[in-house]
């Protein structure tokens, strides 16, 4: 199921946006003045279809209705209502507006052809549903710093969080017996689970250069300063290690299949092949293609030189060995196919990066991940790349290696730190990645250079509700 159109009404109490997605081109670009809600629209989509710990954002962002039309004719609509609670119930925890006696109600409605409308109201949390002391929040979640009775600061991002935000985002780390589970968990109806699971969202935000990693602490340990509870890693280092790990996992799969085929090789050789053997010329072509593939795998960092048989060694093929070699070729093809998807992605990543970066060249190592070497042979760390180079590398790595097929990718301001020429080439690279990885993109930009000559892909955000 693919998202076809997004509509939000009364965003910030004033904006109404309708965004039809370009289904054939797979890329939709939204643009408009600062403050009109480009990033917020992406955030709303990510919060609704993403992990439940992000669900608190749907309460905090002011809007009336968020509607999504799908390509199968169905529609999912979220209504956000502010209601005045009875004075005796003013302790409902629904954000700052609660302190004035208001509560936020979230109602989801789903309509599909030939079926009755389905609806679900996300339960609110009331203070009487929480039996543990709020003092325990910081001991369980040391990266939070309490500001007052119902306000915390999330130190890694300096976000201000109210109690409901904390419970939405970190509820899995708090005493489950001391609070009523709510929202998108076991209370979620099956129809809603199915709809949410049918759309995979991946949000590439503007803060791309650093990745926050949290230390694990026992519940009994309390740090003096919450800043000590996490550390920040340059994203290029994190992704470099991640790629090396992915290569090792794929090579382990390759080795396991190789051992399995090698064990059964004599048996299959004796039994013979059900299909007819290839001709000598066909077998020669197979060896030539395998040699090309072997060279490509070495260039991608997946195989070492001398690690596999050099297929150029098979110069003489005749009727006496054609049966043995045909079984052997079949096995090698099957083994190497395990590496195809990863190789294609590495090839495209290296191609894009090496066509952009000046005076340096990128290669991939199965041990170290990203390798960079200057034109005079000096090795440099990924952290020594310029901010623009790091943004380019991170963006393309995420699109190629961290996205599920058929996902909707949300990209906020891809132009950050990129040279004008790189911005103009961005869509061309993105289209090449989409052809390989297969997904849709909704991106928000201020840059005419990102749009370049593809204004047909754009939707301008504007339009006051009142």
Assigned domain for 47 exists: yes
Q: Do 465 and 317 share a domain, yes or no?
A: no
Q: Is the pLDDT of residue 249 over 70?
A: yes
The rounded percent of the chain whose pLDDT value lies above 70 is 80
Q: Do 196 and 264 share a domain, yes or no?
A: no
- Count of domains observed in the chain: 2
Q: Do 439 and 296 share a domain, yes or no?
A: no
Q: Do 28 and 104 share a domain, yes or no?
A: yes
Assigned domain for 332 exists: yes
Rounded to an integer, the average pLDDT of 256-276 is: 84
Q: Do 2 and 105 share a domain, yes or no?
A: yes
pLDDT value for 45: 96
Q: Is the pLDDT of residue 310 over 80?
A: no
pLDDT grade, residue 336 (50/70/90)?
A: very high
Q: Which of 292, 317, 341 is the last residue of a domain?
A: 341
pLDDT value for 444: 98
Q: Is the pLDDT of residue 295 over 70?
A: yes
- pLDDT per residue over 24-66, tens digit each? 999 999 999 999 999 999 999 999 997 666 677 888 899 999 9
- pLDDT per residue over 365-376, tens digit each? 999 999 999 999
pLDDT grade, residue 126 (50/70/90)?
A: low
Assigned domain for 398 exists: no
Instruction: Give pTM, 2 decimals.
Output: 0.84
pLDDT value for 235: 96
Mean pLDDT of the chain: 85
pLDDT value for 323: 82
Query: Among 285, 295, 298, 299, which Cα is nearest to 329's?
Result: 285
Q: Is the pLDDT of residue 182 over 60?
A: no
Is residue 361 a contact partner of residue 372, using CB atoms and an 8 Å limit?
A: yes
pLDDT grade, residue 137 (50/70/90)?
A: confident
pLDDT value for 140: 85
Assigned domain for 186 exists: no
Assigned domain for 182 exists: no
- pLDDT higher at 296 or 161: 296
Assigned domain for 281 exists: yes
pLDDT value for 246: 97
Q: Do 107 and 18 share a domain, yes or no?
A: yes
pLDDT value for 127: 55
Q: Do 304 and 419 share a domain, yes or no?
A: no
Q: Do 411 and 310 share a domain, yes or no?
A: no
- pLDDT per residue over 138-174, tens digit each? 888 888 999 987 789 998 888 888 877 787 677 667 7
pLDDT value for 287: 85
Domain at 87, CATH number: 3.40.50.300
Range of the domain at 417: 1-121+192-200+404-466
- pLDDT higher at 207 or 123: 207
Q: Which of 341, 375, 395 is the last residue of a domain?
A: 341
Q: Which of 341, 361, 384 is the last residue of a domain?
A: 341
Q: Do 9 and 112 share a domain, yes or no?
A: yes
Q: Do 17 and 114 share a domain, yes or no?
A: yes
Choose the weakest-confidence range: 218-222, 325-329, 416-420, 451-455.
218-222
Q: Is the pLDDT of residue 177 over 50?
A: no
- pLDDT per residue over 57-107, tens digit each? 888 899 999 999 999 999 999 999 887 654 443 444 444 444 444 678 889
pLDDT value for 85: 54
Q: Do 337 and 417 share a domain, yes or no?
A: no
- pLDDT higher at 181 or 151: 151
pLDDT value for 105: 86
pLDDT value for 11: 96
Rounded to an integer, the average pLDDT of 287-316 is: 78
Q: Do 305 and 426 share a domain, yes or no?
A: no
Assigned domain for 224 exists: no
Assigned domain for 382 exists: no
- pLDDT per residue over 192-228, tens digit each? 999 999 999 999 999 899 887 655 444 444 444 444 4
pLDDT value for 303: 87
């Amino acid at each position: 199921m693919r998202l076809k159109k997004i509509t939000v009404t009364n965003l910030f109490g004033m904006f109404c946006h309708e965004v039809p997605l370009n289904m054939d081109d797979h890329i939709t670009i939204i643009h408009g003045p600062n403050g009109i809600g480009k990033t917020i629209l992406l955030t709303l989509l990510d919060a609704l279809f993403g992990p439940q710990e992000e669900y608190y954002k749907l309460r905090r962002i002011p809007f009336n209705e968020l509607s999504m039309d799908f390509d199968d004719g169905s529609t999912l609509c979220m209504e956000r209502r502010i209601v005045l609670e009875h004075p005796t119930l003013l302790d409902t925890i629904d954000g700052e507006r609660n302190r004035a006696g208001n509560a936020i109600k979230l109602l989801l409605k789903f309509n599909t052809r030939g079926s009755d409308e389905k609806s679900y109201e996300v339960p609110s949390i009331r203070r009487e549903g929480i039996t543990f002391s709020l003092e325990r929040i910081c001991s369980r979640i040391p990266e939070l710093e309490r500001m007052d009775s119902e306000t915390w600061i999330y130190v890694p991002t300096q976000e201000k969080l109210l109690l409901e935000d904390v419970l939405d985002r970190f509820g899995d780390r708090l005493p489950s017996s001391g609070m009523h589970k709510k929202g998108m968990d076991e209370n979620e109806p099956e129809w809603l689970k199915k709809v949410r699971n049918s759309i995979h969202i991946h949000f590439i935000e503007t803060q791309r250069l650093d990745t926050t990693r949290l230390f694990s602490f026992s519940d009994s340990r309390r740090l003096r300063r919450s800043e000590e509870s996490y550390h920040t890693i340059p994203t290029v280092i994190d992704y470099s290690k991640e790629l090396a790990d992915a290569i090792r996992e794929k090579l382990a799969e390759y080795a396991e299949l190789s051992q399995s085929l090698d064990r059964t090789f004599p048996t299959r050789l004796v039994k013979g092949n059900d299909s007819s053997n290839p001709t000598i010329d066909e077998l020669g072509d197979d060896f030539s293609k395998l040699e090309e593939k072997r060279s490509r795998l070495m260039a991608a960092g997946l195989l070492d030189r001398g690690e596999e048989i050099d297929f150029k060694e098979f110069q003489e093929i005749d009727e006496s060995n054609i049966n043995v070699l045909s079984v052997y070729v079949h096995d090698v093809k099957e083994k190497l196919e395990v590496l195809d998807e990863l190789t294609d992605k590495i090839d495209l990543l290296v191609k894009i990066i090496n066509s952009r970066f000046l005076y340096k060249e990128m290669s991939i190592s199965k041990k170290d991940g990203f390798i960079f070497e200057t034109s005079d042979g000096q090795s440099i760390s990924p952290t020594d790349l310029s901010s623009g180079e790091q943004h380019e590398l991170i963006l393309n790595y995420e699109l190629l290696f961290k996205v599920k097929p058929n996902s909707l990718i949300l990209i906020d301001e891809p132009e950050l730190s990129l040279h004008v020429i790189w911005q103009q080439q961005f869509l061309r690279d993105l289209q090449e990645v989409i052809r390989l990885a297969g997904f849709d993109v909704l991106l928000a930009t201020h840059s005419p250079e990102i749009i370049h000559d593809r204004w047909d892909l754009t939707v301008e955000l504007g339009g006051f509700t009142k």
